[in-house]
Amino acid sequence: MSGTTKSGTKTDDKGERIAKRLARAGLCSRREAERWIAEGRVAVNGTRLDSPAVTVTDTDRIVVDGQPLPEADRTRLWRYHKPSGLVTTHRDPQGRPTVFDRLPDDLPRVMSVGRLDLNSEGLLLLTNDGALARRLELPATGWVRRYRVRVHGEVDPERLVTLEKGVTVDGVRYGPIRAVLDRRQGSNAWLTISLAEGRNREIRRVMDYCGWPVTRLIRVAYGPFQLGNLAEGTVEEVPARVLRDQIGSVQAETGGHAHRRRTP
C-alpha cells in the first residue's frame, strides 16, 4: 500500500532509509547524509541518530541542524556550462573557487550529476534531487558522455581504435572508449571521445598513457542532454516535460525506479 506526499511524491508505507530521504529533499547527496548522521546533525522524532541504518516514513519528524526537514520540491534538472578553473564541490579545503559559488542566487540548493575536474569545462547537470543525481550517474543508465578533447602530439588513428576494447592504466581497468580524430592543428589534435562511465580523470589518464597529454577538455553531452549554444557560466533549466520523458527512459533502460515527482 502506498501514499502520496504533498509534493506529489509516491511513497511506500514501509518507508525509506533516512539518507535517501535527506537526499530526496535536496539537502545533500546520500553520502553526505551519512556523514551528517555520523556527525550527530540529524534527529528523528527527537532522537539524535548515530547510524544511517534507519527507515523513516512520512509520519516521522526529521530535523537537521535543529531545523525541520523541508517538504521535498518537485524534481528539477538544470544544464550548466561549467568554466575551467572551478572545482565541482560545495566546499574546497584548498579554498579554490567552486561551481556552487558561481551559481545564481535564486537557484535552490542543488548538487551535480557526476563531476568535471578543475581544468575541464562544458556541460554539467545539476539537480535538486539527490536520488535522481545518483541514478543518472550509474553506468547502468547507458547514457554516453561525449567530449571534445584537444591533445598535444601526433595521434595515431589506429591506436584510437584499440581503445574501444578498453585499456588498463597503472592497474586501473577502463571500459570501452570511442575516440575519433576530428582534425590536426599544428602539434595538437582535436578528438571526439565518448564513454559510458567517465571515471575520475579517465580521459586525461588514458590520453597520457597513449602519449598525448590533454590541453583542453570540454564535455558537450551527457546522455540526451547537450551543451549546445549554452554560454559559459550560464544555467538553464530542463523543461519539466523533457525531464519526465528522460526519467521514464532511465526506468525502462535500467529496470529500476528512478525517483519521480508530479510536475505541473
Give the CATH number of the domain where residue 208 resides: 3.30.70.1560
Could you tell me if 151 and 211 lie in one domain? yes
pLDDT in tens, the chain (264 residues): 333 333 333 334 578 899 988 877 777 778 889 999 999 999 999 999 999 999 999 899 999 999 998 776 788 999 999 999 999 988 888 999 999 999 998 888 899 999 999 999 999 999 988 888 888 988 888 899 999 999 999 999 999 999 999 999 999 999 999 999 999 999 999 999 999 887 889 999 999 999 999 999 999 999 999 999 999 999 999 999 999 898 876 654 544 444 333 322
Give the Å distances, CA to CA, from 247 to 49, 51, 158, 176, 241. Answer: 32, 31, 37, 25, 10
Give the Å distances, CA to CA, from 201 to 78, 116, 134, 149, 213. Answer: 23, 9, 19, 13, 12
Query: What value does the CA radius of gyration of the chain take, rounded to a whole number of Å?
Result: 20
99-125 burial, b if ≥16 CB within 10 A, otherwise e?
Answer: bbeebeeeeeebbbbbbbeeebbbbbb
Could you tell me if 86 and 209 lie in one domain? no
Q: pTM for this structure?
A: 0.76
- Could you list the active site residues? 117
Owner of C-alpha cell 519526465: 244
Question: What is the sign, positive or negative, of the torsion defined by CA atoms of 205, 88, 222, 217?
Answer: negative
Q: Please tell me the total count of domains within the chain.
A: 3
Tell me whether residue 263 is in a domain: no
The whole-angstrom separation of Cα 176 and Cα 197 is 9
The secondary structure element, H or E, covering residue 130 is helix 130-137
What amino acid is encoded at 94 in this protein?
Q
Tell me whether residue 165 is in a domain: yes
Could you tell me if 127 and 246 lie in one domain? yes
Domain that holds residue 51: 2-68
